[in-house]
Amino acid sequence: MSHLSFIPKSHPRYFSLLTREKLTEGFKKGIVAAEGLIAHGRGEAFDYILGEKTLNPAKKAIKAAAALLLLAKNPVISVNGNSAALSAKEVVKLAKITGSKIEVNLFYRTEKREKKIKDLLMACGAALVLGTGKDASAIIPELLSERRKVDPRGIFKADVVLVFLEDGDRTESLVKMRKKVIAIDLNPFSRTAQKATLTIVDNIVRAMPNLIKLSREFKGQGEQKLKSILKNYDNKKILKEMIKIIRNNY
C-alpha cells in the first residue's frame, strides 16, 4: 500500500517525503535494494545540511558536467536501484540530449533487479539499456564488487561516465582506466566525491532536471564554448567551496 495519502501537500518537507515515498515504492517493486533505503537516509542528512537546495558550487559543477557530456565521444549513464526509482525518466531524457548510452550497474546485482530496472528504463522511452545479464561480460580491473561487471559496448569503452550513489571503489577504478567520471553525490566528503573528475554535490532529484536544462541549452553551441567552460572549472576548488559553506552555515 502506498503511503502517499498520509503526506499533506502543505507539509513543509513535502518534496522530501515524496522522494522517500518513491524509494519505498521502488523497494516494494524490487527495484531498490534494502540497503539503498539506508543510503538515501545518509543522503537526506547531507541534504538537510545543504538546506535542500542546489548551492552555487553545485550549479557550476552541473554546468561543467553538461559541457563534458556533450563533448564526450562515448558517454554512458550508469544506473543503479536508487537512481532508477528517483530519476528513470530524467536519465532517459538526458541520454537522448547528450547522446549517452544507458547501462544498469548494481552493487547488489541480481538478475531479477537488473531486469526490473531495465524494464523501467525501457518503459520511460530508452531505446537500448546495456549491462544486464550476459551483456555485462567485461570486467573493470582490480574491482572486487559486482560493479566490476560492465558492458563492453558501454562503461568499458566509455570516455565519460555519469554515476549516482557510488561506493567509491568503482569511481577510483574508472578514473584509473583514464575515464572521466561525473558523480552526483550529496556527501562532499565521500571517496566518490573526492575521486571523481567532476562532482555535483546535490540531490539527484534536483541535479538531473538542471543537467537536462543546461545540456539542452548548450547543445549545438560550438565546441570552443564548451571547452572553455571546462578549462575554467576546478573540481577541487568546487569541493572546497561546498565544504566551506557547510562549515560556515553551522
- Kindly tell me the burial class for residue 198, based on how many C-beta atoms sit within 10 Å of its own C-beta (0-12, 13-18, 19 or more): buried
Q: What's the CA gap between 7 and 1, in Å, rounded?
A: 14
- Please state, in angstroms and rounded to a whole number, the distance separating the CA atoms of residues 48 and 39: 15
Region near ligand PTJ per CB under 6 A, out of 9-17, 92-100, 118-126, 163-171: 163-171
Residue showing the smallest CB distance to ligand PTJ in the complex: 43
Site string for ligand PTJ, 20-59 (x = CB under 6 A): -------------x-xx--xx-xx--x-------------
Return the sign of the alpha-carbon dihedral for residues 80, 82, 83, 84: positive
Work out whether 197 is an interface residue with ligand PTJ (CB under 6 A): no
C-beta of 187: minimal distance to ligand PTJ in Å? 3
Bridge partners (DSSP) listed for residue 246: none
Per-residue binding string, ligand PTJ, 130-149, x by CB under 6 A, is --------------------
Parallel, antiparallel, or unpaired: how do β-strands 138-139 and 149-150 relate? Answer: antiparallel
Nearer to ligand PTJ, 52 or 219 (CB): 52
Q: Which three cell numbers stand for residue 242?
A: 561546498
Are 200 and 47 within 8 A, CB to CB? no
Least Å distance, CB 194 to ligand PTJ, is 11
Residue ranges in contact with ligand PTJ by CB under 6 A: 33, 35-36, 39-40, 42-43, 46, 80-82, 86, 106-108, 165-167, 184-187, 190, 203-204
